[in-house]
């Protein structure tokens, strides 16, 4: 009887997914997450071709995403994460499976199809900026509907997606050896100093430095478990140059190689043990302040921001405006936010301690849930220490 009940539940779950796709409501993995992801997983185990185009599943350990019907060997459930669109999986750092080619599957959900068409328009628009109104007109929907639908499925706005694609184009051109001025123009950036500074902040260094792709650098790295998932620590002989957080080792390694394509990069699980232990102790609450040697390629402004972030007391937060004022540049709020977003050494430079003026959390490179967890854990430990000192 139990097997029969499980079978009925599986059919109902899959029928619910297909019904949503056929009625235009689409899969809702984030609204009733547990029940729908359970049905998704059953569909993946069954290699159900009816679900192709309804969602994709990504494997943390390999950094690859697939169609539900992919014939490849199935991973364990804990290694799998679901996405409503291939573009959302790629934005999270996963690459398409070469066997089942999930990026070619037609979307079953009209809203998902809408977002995919908008992504394609943005990618093929060339260097010319595309407004939300223009995209909405092409799609035949209102601007508000497009903004809401796009952000629900992709996690970012069309404007942010376009900016990310432009930045990626700049990176590719610089790595191919193009001159900085030509690369900036062809990627869609202007020649003004303001846009040059913006691209520098997003790259984590000047375009000229980025063009070298880490040439001459010898970077060792290790990946360990942490309270926030897998943690990559990379370093040169001068000091730590990368601390990144994620779920899949392959994704973390690929991101490091992508940032430094011409550097000598090798795994070293013993050479940086003291630095790794210090970061782990900090995350466990045993070491409130981290004093590690750093080897960072950055603009002068970025270095000033990151030093200011290291002055924020453990268990406390500051707003972007407060950081800008502390630097003596109260109008540089957006520039401060960009410097926080491109911080390559999370935890060591505590960009998670910077919040919006209204107290809400802004974007965090490693995910808002990790930012929230870091802030809450530090506040709790600070309170415990204060209570212990008062006894």
What is the residue whose two structure tokens read 């950081």?
323
CA distances from 238 to 122, 155, 220, 281 (A): 41, 37, 11, 22
DSSP reduced 3-state for 146: helix
Q: What is the DSSP secondary-structure string of 251-281?
A: HHHHHHHHH-TTSEEEE-SSTTHHHHHHHHH
Handedness of CA 318, 320, 326, 327 (dihedral sign): positive
Sign, Cα dihedral of 279, 281, 283, 289: negative
Residue 104 · residue 70 · CB < 8 Å: no
Contact 218, 212 (CB under 8 A): no
Q: Residue 304: left (phi > 0), alpha (psi -120 to 50), or beta?
A: alpha
Identify the burial level of 71 via C-beta atoms within 10 angstroms of its C-beta, where 0-12 means exposed, 13-18 middle and 19 or more buried.
exposed
Tell me the C-alpha to C-alpha distance, in Å, between residue 176 and each of 166, 210, 214. Answer: 16, 11, 13
Count Cα atoms within 13 angstroms, Cβ side, for 82: 24
Q: Which of 66, 70, 100, 119 is catalytic?
A: 66
User: Does 66 participate in catalysis according to the annotation?
Assistant: yes
Q: Which of 321, 70, 4, 342 is nearest to 204 (CA)?
A: 342
Identified catalytic residue from 70, 97, 119, 351: 351
97 is catalytic: no
Q: Nearest 5°: CA angle at 39, between 35 and 45?
A: 145
If we measure between CA atoms, which residue out of 85, 171, 273, 330 comes closest to residue 319?
330
Burial letters for 332-357: b for 16+ Cβ neighbours within 10 Å, e otherwise? bbebbbbbbebbbbbbbbbbbbbbee
104 burial (CB, 10 Å; 0-12 / 13-18 / 19+) is exposed
Rounded distance between C-alpha atoms, residue 66 and residue 81, angstroms: 11
- Residues known to be catalytic: 66, 351
């Amino acid at each position: 009887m139990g097997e029969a009940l499980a079978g009925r539940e599986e059919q109902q779950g899959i029928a619910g997914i297909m019904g949503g796709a056929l009625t235009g409501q689409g899969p809702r993995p984030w609204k009733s997450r547990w029940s729908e992801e359970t049905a998704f997983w059953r569909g993946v185990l069954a290699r159900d071709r009816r679900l192709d185009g309804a969602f994709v599943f990504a494997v943390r350990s390999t950094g690859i995403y697939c169609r539900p019907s992919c014939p490849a060997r199935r991973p364990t459930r804990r290694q799998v994460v679901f996405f409503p669109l291939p573009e959302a999986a790629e934005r999270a750092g996963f690459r398409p499976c070469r066997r089942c080619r999930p990026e070619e599957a037609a979307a079953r959900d009209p809203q998902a199809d809408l977002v995919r068409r908008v992504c394609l328009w943005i990618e093929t628009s060339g260097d010319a900026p595309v407004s939300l109104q223009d995209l909405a007109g092409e799609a035949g929907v209102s601007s508000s509907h497009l903004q809401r639908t796009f952000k629900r499925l992709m996690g970012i706005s069309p404007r942010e997606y376009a900016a990310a694609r432009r930045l990626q184009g700049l990176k590719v051109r610089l790595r191919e050896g193009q001159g900085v001025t030509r690369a900036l123009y062809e990627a869609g950036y202007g020649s003004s100093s303001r846009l040059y500074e913006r691209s520098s902040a997003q790259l984590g260094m000047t375009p000229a430095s980025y063009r070298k792709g880490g040439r001459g650098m010898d970077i060792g790295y290790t990946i360990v478990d942490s309270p926030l998932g897998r943690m990559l620590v990379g370093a040169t002989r001068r000091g730590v140059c990368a601390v990144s957080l994620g779920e899949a080792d392959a994704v973390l390694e690929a991101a490091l190689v992508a940032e430094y394509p011409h550097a000598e990069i090798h795994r070293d699980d013993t050479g940086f043990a003291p630095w790794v232990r210090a970061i782990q102790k900090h995350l466990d609450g045993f070491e409130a302040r981290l004093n590690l040697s750093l080897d960072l390629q950055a603009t002068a402004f970025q270095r000033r921001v990151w030093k200011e972030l290291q002055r924020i007391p453990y268990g406390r937060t500051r707003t972007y405006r407060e950081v800008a004022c502390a630097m003596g540049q109260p109008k540089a709020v957006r520039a401060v936010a960009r410097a926080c977003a491109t911080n390559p050494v999370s935890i060591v430079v505590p960009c998670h301690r910077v919040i919006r003026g209204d107290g809400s959390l802004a974007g965090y490179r490693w995910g808002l849930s990790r930012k929230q967890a870091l802030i809450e854990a530090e506040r709790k430990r600070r309170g415990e220490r204060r209570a212990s000192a008062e006894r």
